[in-house]
Amino acid sequence: MGRELIMALFLSLSLLSAPFAAEAAGIRHYKWEVKYEYKSQDCYKKLAITINGRTPGPTIEAQVNDTVVVELKNSLLTENVAIHWHGIRQKGTPWFDGTAGVTQCPIVPGDTFVYKFVVDRPGTYLYHAHYGLQREAGLNGMIRVLIPPGESEPYTYDHDRSILLTDWYHQSTYEQATGLSSLPFVWVGEPQSLLIHGKGKFDCSTPGLKFGLCNATNSECSPYVITVVPGKTYRLRIGSLTSLAALSFEIEGHTMTVVEADGHNVKPFVVKNLFIYSGETYSVLIKADQAPTRNYWAVSKVVGRNSTTPKGLAIFNYYPNHPRRSPPTVPPVGPAWNDVAPRLVQGEAMKARQGYILPPPQTSDRVIVMLNTQNTINGYTRWSVNNISYNLPDTPYLIALTDRLNHVFDQTPPPDGYDSQNYDIFSKANNTNATASSSIYRLQFNSTVDIILQNANTMNANNSETHPWHLHGHDFWVMGYGQGKFDINSDPKKYNLVDPIMKNTVSVQPYGWTALRFVADNPGVWAFHCHIEAHFHLGMGVVFEEGVEKLGRYPTSITGCGDTKGYQARIRHFKWEVKYEYKSQDCYKKLAITINGKTPGPTIEARVNDTVVVELKNSLLTENVVIHWHGIRQPGTYLYHAHYGMQREAGLNGMIRVLLPPGESEPYSYDHDKSILLTDWYHQSTYELATGLSSIPFVWVDEPQSLLIHGKGKFDCSTPGLKAGLCVNTTNPECSPYIITVVPGKTYRLRIGSLTSLAALSFEIEGHNMTVVEADGHNVEPFVVKNLFIYSGETYSVLIKADQAPTRNYWAVSKVVSRNNTTPNGLAIFNYYPNHPRRSPPTVPPVGPAWNDVAPRLAQGEAMKARQGYILPPPQTSDRVIVMLNTQNTINGYTRWSVNNISYNLPDTPYLIAVKDRLNHVFDQTPPPDGYDSQNYDIFSKPNNTNATTSSSIYRLQFNSIVDIILQNANSMKNNTSETHPWHLHGHDFWVIGYGQDKFDINSDPKKYYNLVNPIMKNTVSVQPYGWTALRFVANNPGVWAFHCHIEAHFYLGMGVVFEEGVEMLGRYPTSITGCGDTKGYRRP
């Protein structure tokens, strides 16, 4: 089995430890993935939003004062998401209320967001999506908060069950939302089914259904079963998250005793039918005291609407009867849909249980009367409060108020009432026009507020709907209900101020009113809205602000939309599986190492200061794996790749794009941004290549078979000796040319990276010039090239304008330079829209520069200068100079590459652990030399003595010291041969202060060639044949850092060193990095 490792890195250059340690007492930790899946809740197959594959989602169970942590990954592909914890007051954590636009920005696809809150009161609660109309797509569930151990409730029962009631539409939420926002208005209609805990039964014989969509025998839609033991008493926690329907719920032949409502204990009262509105929860006690020889129906039914939706049916199963055995009776008919009286009776029967709910304040400081009306705005149907239809702003109120972003929402306060004397609630409004607004009610902190919900006629004659209203962040006392128009002079005298129930959701009946009171004592910004999904979507809600100034700083995880984009620091969460798969990148079928089935792997895109979390599962069967995040320091273009053995050249690689914070701008402009990864490709496996390198006689890897442009190349399948079926040129889409589509006249930023294992490349686009603006994440003074020379490990951004004849396509070409090779050029198509992307250019691809012409490569290096104002000049002097002679050698007859005649061997125990824990025995303690015998070494000839020494020693650098590295190239063990070496430094950028040909002269060359005014900074630099390159860096990043040739075989054969600096300043390393060498003993099980 593969070992999963969570790797995390801050792009702000700090370390993220594992997200969560083992759960402490009182912490309930959930890890959820939200995504679309096909479900057949009512036998009809449709897309549902699931949590870990389920709808309803998992029931959260906790005890009072526990902390609930939900790590939520949004895998909805294109939709944002937010989850509201319905009934949880969020004392001290208003930013985790989960209301998009009010308390947080929605969670974008691919992101992981962590909700963390305390459940401070026992009872039955809910959770559900609070973005768009997603709640009705199945993103919902229940929360059960238990009393502390040792305490008891004022009622007894034997078992505790949760039942969620919902309605179910076959249309998608997109279709419904589009209809609601259209002219003419298209209402959502009645739900197709009612579900009891996620299960219903639609009539699959309904005419017009598409074949295969509805299957009455599907086990997903078998009736929900509530199994009971005869004689036992059950607490049923019943919640409703219908999107439209008010319901009655009954269990055939049984009565139910209501004991809890919205988390508060009530004086017990008995019902046959429980009336329940969207957003409400109840606990009822039911005794299994009927004939035990049969099962009974549990039935939900729509009330308050003349609905066509059939009843929801479940089975109340008396054990040991078979749970699927249908009751022998017809399901109960239930109450009439339009009989309001029993619903009002239930509301009035609910009283606070003595000793559990304090009476309300006897007077209030403010009264707000809210007229509920249906209206129009510019012909569009809306719902309104006091003739104002609510619009959420792009920037969440909680952030806007904390940061005083007053411009993001309407500052005119909404009215505290309406023209009661002249408004006829029983008739269609004379003027149906409403006003849209994002204004909010500002409540004095700790004040007592009365809300009067007044219902009225809709825009249809003789029609008034039932509205369930839910208040976030609070419970309120329900002081009274009434029919007709509320009279502010006489009706308050009828209030129940002695023992009113407390709730968070309450209904207002047709042509009626409901009065509630609450204390504004919870600092934050809280929505109050109709819980019918379409009504709130159409503007039926308000927002209260109270005591925001008392809050601490909100977490940056809630930002990222509207005006908050500029200061968002997000967690970018990736879950990768690394495994071997057969691929035909260049038409030749071979094993490649893939990430989630892809090579190159997914491009990581993040912003400065984001945290990138990569959860990596190794499914390579027998191979270990490590991934290096190449160049991560600041905004720009970077890479990632395998850094173990020779796995990089097997396809385990990809690109990283780090963007500026929104609101900041680059010193150049472009219309579109594209990433292109250049690689080379071998048909031999990395095992075969590595074995040859470690053999006597030495077997060189030779030249790559192909060059790939973003994972696509073309090998000649007519090559003699190929095994039949391994290579198919014309039919395999994997090796069709990579397409770079452009619109004529537009300017493109091409982020070009190279992760070749051997080849240095030139890259050009036929007929176009490229302006280089960035190198290894740093802005450079722009300069124009026809051919971009790029070495393994380097990245560049170039600007290219689509300014050539738009009637044709053009070639993009990569070509090997610095080696007299046999590898054919890599080809892609630079496609001018609207030409067909597969239309080949009418020309022969450009030949490109001569492979052995060093001059233009040196000229490109010397042309690169730091862009003024973006890169500071280097320190003018250094504290230490290390000259590194690059040579090919032998050790005991084996070919090796060396630095100053020392060929590098990695120890079994990682240096970082060994240095931190003072395990000095695990690597050579003799420091490597700071130079070589320059006077007597002829860099232009084969060495007289080719023997080298192996060592695992490291350079110890004084922390904060300034270090110069001089890379000196020399002849290999072949006459007249010196290779190009691209060197990459981990953990640092360096100034490239000079290049030169021949042997470096430490006395004269710094004076002649060093640029200390405006040198570029990079993390990878080449040293040309028989030449030298000088770089300077500050050893200011505590850690242990590799510096090595980025040619895969060269580093594998020992061409590298390691620097240590300031390790003593580091905290404790995570134990997840242990498990090899001397660290096995303290690896976490």
- pTM of the predicted model as reported, rounded to 2 decimal places: 0.59
CA angle in degrees (0–180, nearest 5) for 193-196-202: 30
Q: Is 686 helix (H, G, I), strand (E, B) or coil?
A: helix
Please say whether the beta carbons of 954 and 982 come within 8 A: no
DSSP per residue, 428-475 = --S--B-EEE---EEPPTT-EEEEEEE----SSTT----EEEEETT--
DSSP per residue, 73-102 = EE--TT--B-EEEET---TT-GGGS--BTT
Q: What distance in Å separates the CA atoms of residue 198 and residue 131, rounded to the nearest whole number?
A: 21
Maximum Cα–Cα distance across the chain? 111
Q: What distance in Å separates the CA atoms of residue 401 and residue 867, rounded to the nearest whole number?
A: 39
Burial class of residue 512 in the structure, from the number of CB atoms within 10 Å of its CB (0-12 exposed, 13-18 middle, 19+ buried): buried
Residues facing 518 on adjacent strands: 449
Q: What distance in Å separates the CA atoms of residue 490 and residue 492, rounded to the nearest whole number?
A: 6
**Count of CB atoms situated within 10 Å of the CB of 58:** 14
Encoding tokens for residue 116? 């963390």
| pLDDT attached to residue 1074 | 85
| pLDDT attached to residue 16 | 26
Residues facing 470 on adjacent strands: 505, 529
Q: Whole-angstrom distance between the N-terminal and C-terminal Cα of the chain?
A: 15
DSSP per residue, 581-611 = EEE-TTSB-EEEEEETTBSS-PPEEEETT-E
Please say whether the beta carbons of 654 and 602 come within 8 A: yes
Q: What distance in Å separates the CA atoms of residue 142 and residue 131, rounded to the nearest whole number?
A: 18
Q: What distance in Å separates the CA atoms of residue 906 and residue 918, rounded to the nearest whole number?
A: 17
The candidate with the shortest Cα–Cα distance to 264, out of 356, 199, 180, is 356
Please say whether the beta carbons of 650 and 686 come within 8 A: yes
HSE, side-chain direction, 13 A CA sphere, residue 1000 = 30
HSE, side-chain direction, 13 A CA sphere, residue 325 = 14
- The sign of the torsion formed by the CA atoms of 618, 621, 624, 625 equals negative
Encoding tokens for residue 408? 């993001």
Ramachandran area for residue 703 (φ above 0: left; ψ -120 to 50: alpha; else beta): beta
27-349 and 570-661+668-863 have identical folds: yes
CATH superfamily of the domain spanning 880-1072:
Cupredoxins -  blue copper proteins (2.60.40.420)
The candidate with the shortest Cα–Cα distance to 71, out of 61, 79, 83, 89, is 83
Q: What distance in Å separates the CA atoms of residue 924 and residue 25, rounded to the nearest whole number?
A: 46
pLDDT averages per 10-residue partition of the chain, 1085 residues: 42 28 63 95 95 97 95 91 97 96 93 94 97 95 94 95 97 90 92 97 92 92 97 98 96 98 98 98 98 98 95 98 96 94 92 95 97 94 95 93 90 95 91 91 97 96 95 98 96 96 97 97 98 96 96 86 67 91 92 95 88 92 90 87 93 93 81 96 91 91 96 92 82 90 96 96 98 97 98 98 97 95 96 93 96 91 92 95 96 94 93 94 96 94 86 97 98 93 97 96 96 97 96 96 97 97 91 82 40
Q: Is 1081 helix (H, G, I), strand (E, B) or coil?
A: helix
Burial class of residue 608 in the structure, from the number of CB atoms within 10 Å of its CB (0-12 exposed, 13-18 middle, 19+ buried): middle
Q: Is 775 helix (H, G, I), strand (E, B) or coil?
A: strand
Helix (H) / strand (E) containing 348: helix 341-349
Domain covering 570-661+668-863, topology: Immunoglobulin-like (2.60.40)
Q: What distance in Å separates the CA atoms of residue 98 and residue 115, rounded to the nearest whole number?
A: 8
Encoding tokens for residue 457? 């006629």
Encoding tokens for residue 424? 């006829």
Q: What distance in Å separates the CA atoms of residue 652 and residue 681, rounded to the nearest whole number?
A: 12
**Count of CB atoms situated within 10 Å of the CB of 49:** 23
The candidate with the shortest Cα–Cα distance to 50, out of 116, 134, 161, 109, is 134
Pairing of strands 770-775, 778-785: antiparallel
Sequence-distant (≥ 6) Cβ neighbours of residue 1003 within 8 angstroms: none
Is the preceding omega at residue 56 within 30 degrees of 0, hence cis? yes
At 1031, the amino acid letter reads: L
Please say whether the beta carbons of 796 and 738 come within 8 A: no
Is the preceding omega at residue 184 within 30 degrees of 0, hence cis? yes
What's the chain's length in residues? 1085
- CATH code for residues 366-550: 2.60.40.420
| pLDDT attached to residue 514 | 97
| pLDDT attached to residue 296 | 98
Residue 869 is classified by DSSP as T
Domain spans in the chain, listed from the N-terminal domain onward: 27-349, 366-550, 570-661+668-863, 880-1072
Please say whether the beta carbons of 967 and 886 come within 8 A: yes
Please say whether the beta carbons of 713 and 761 come within 8 A: no
- Specify the residue for token string 């770089």: 1031
Q: Is 361 helix (H, G, I), strand (E, B) or coil?
A: coil
Q: Is 13 helix (H, G, I), strand (E, B) or coil?
A: coil
What is the C-alpha radius of gyration for the chain, rounded to an integer number of angstroms? 35
Domain covering 27-349, topology: Immunoglobulin-like (2.60.40)
